Structure 1
Amino acid sequence: MDQYRDFAFVYDELMDDVDYEGWVDYIEKIIEKENAKVKNILELACGTGNITIPLAKKNYDIAGIDISDEMLNVARSKAEKENIELVLLEQDISELDFDVTNLDCVLCACDGFNYITYDEDLINIFSKTHELLKEEGIFIFDISSFYKLSTVLGDNMYGENRENISYMWQNYFDDEQNLVEMELTFFVADENGKYDKHEEVHLQRAYTEDEIIDMLEEAGFSDVKVYGDFTFDAPEEDSERIFFVCRK
């Protein structure tokens, strides 16, 4: 199911407080710290291109994959306005099928893997990534932490009124399956000031660091580093974003 069907067109406006340039800088710092030689990148769950486009501007050869054609259309439109050529493919990353191998880097930013709710699907992605990478290739991704999904978001409600968009975001955390169900209702004004109502349900899985590391090792990655909240320190108990850096 395309969980970003209607949300794609307002996603960037609602996420305007995210420092994507800082995110890209951190990714480059990881690459530098690892002394990895990276020219080409495959980005999984690339969304509207908020990481993809800045990386392309830095002269990386980057291809993006996302399940949402609507999100990719937004990315294409943004890239065209900046005269950037992007390779963008509509695909469910849990069934990852990419023809180019010997890649320098595979990337998944902004908690795309939390949307993969079954162990076997995530292991499949990790295994396929391991196959696609060159020897010494680097796999960089982040997740929203177990703490964030279970405690910060779980069973809480958020809302905001903006000039042309209002939204309500209600979350329910299932502590048996470690799933957070997000019910998103948003109202978008048209050119006449009339508001259209849109509703979507998003499901994310809360993973522990150990669960992710076990799956990575099963997929063939033995060199795995874990960092918390855009630092090069181990995650704290209340870290909200966990980064994994894996070498083939």
Structure 2
Amino acid sequence: MQKTSKEFYSERGVDWLSHKKNNERSKEELSYIVRLLRKDWKILDLACGYGRLTIPLAEIGYKMEGIDITPIFIEKAKEEAKKKNLNIEFRVGDMINLPYDSNSFDAVICMWNAFSELVLEDEQVSAILEIYRVLKKDGMCLIEVRNHRSGKLIAANMIDGYDAMPSYNHTRGSMKKLMELSGLEDYRVFIDNFGGRNRLFLEIRKY
């Protein structure tokens, strides 16, 4: 039976995941994100994990909240935020049913290929519509995933030799199709260097 993201990450644990990111790459990714965000915005880190980006952004003055489907990640994020005396609200939750009021955030970021862990098209559309719902007027969302050119859309996934949850191999075309299905028109799909690698981005605006 295929694992869910929650099952896989709960089995592997926080230390295993944190060791997969080196500090230099995290700094490069953070500097990329900072160029897009404003300090007066209220920002949601969607699929925030253990707060890898949420906490550093809060440390430099951004108003952050974080949500992730894996409880052990949220527990760790809360511990780290408390140690650093940071006021960040972290929640356990699912990106296809966000526990926030409409028009709650100026920006939503969904990084580290987390969006690709939704392998059903209707779930992906639901997540996009939920993100759009919680955005304020003039808000923006940035989703980052691996860039795939062709091949099977849904692939079995091995990470460090472990059987992991399946992954959706997004392309420019698959992202554009999702936006057509969602009925949203203010977006752009692009490829850019992110932490030393070319990644696929979906940017959504709410006007």
TM exceeds 0.5? yes
- TM-score, structure 2 normalization: 0.84
- Write the letter of the residue equivalent to 1:40: K
AA of the residue aligned to 1:181: N
Contact residue 176 and residue 189 of structure 2 kept, 8 A: no
Partner residue in 1 for 2:166? 203
- Counterpart of 1:58, as a letter, is I
RMSD: 2.4
- Aligned to 2:184, the other structure's residue is in SS state coil
Matches of 2:175 and 2:75, distance apart in 1 = 31
Change (3 A) 1:18 1:218: farther
1:243 aligns with 2:206: no
* 1:33-63 CA distance string (max 9 Å, x none): xxx7851011110001111011111222211
Counterpart position of 2:135: 133
- Equivalent residue, structure 2, for 1:196: none
Gapped regions of structure 2 (runs ≥ 5): none
For 1:93, what is the secondary structure of its paired residue? coil
Paired residue for 1:108? 110
The equivalent of 1:169 in structure 2 is none
Structure with more relative contact order (C-alpha pairs < 8 Å, separation 6 or more): 2
Which one has the largest radius of gyration?
A: 1
Note closer, same or farther for the CA distance 1:87–1:100 as it changes in structure 2 (3 Å cut): farther
Structure 1's 140 and 13: CA in aligned 2 closer, same or farther, altered over 3 A?
Answer: same
Counterpart of 1:182 in structure 2 is 158
Q: Structure 1 stretches (4+) deviating beyond 4 angstroms?
A: none
Count matched residues. Answer: 198
Within 2, Cα distance between the matches of 1:18 and 1:243? 21
Tell me, what secondary structure is at the counterpart of 1:48?
Answer: coil
Provide closer, same or farther for how the CA distance between residues 15 and 73 of structure 1 changes in structure 2, counting only shifts above 3 A.
same
Other-structure match for 1:142? 144
Which sections of structure 1, spanning at least 5 residues, go unmatched? 151-174, 186-198, 232-238
For normalisation by structure 1, the TM-score amounts to 0.71
Distance 1:227 1:183, change over 3 A: closer
Moved more, 8-17 or 204-213: 8-17
Give the Å deviation of 1:178: 2.9
SS at match of 2:10: coil
Distance 1:58 1:221 in 2: 32
Q: Deviations over 1:5-36 (max 9, x none)?
A: 132332112322562222122112234xxxx7
**Shift of the alpha carbon at 1:177?**
4.6
Tell me, in whole angstroms, the C-alpha distance in 2 between the residues paired with 1:51 and 1:140. Answer: 14
Mapped to 2, the partners of 1:22 and 1:130 lie a distance apart of 27
Residues 1:59 and 2:61 aligned together: yes
Structure 2 distance, partners of 1:208, 1:80, is 39
1:117 aligns with 2:116: no
CA contact (8 A) 2:45 2:64 kept: yes
Structure 1 residue 80: Cα displacement: 2.2
Aligned partners of 2:10, 2:146: CA distance in 1, in Å? 22
Q: For each residue in 1:53-110, what CA deviation from the matched residue of structure 2 results, as whole angstroms up to 9, or x when unmatched? A: 1111122221111010111122122222222122111112123332352421111011
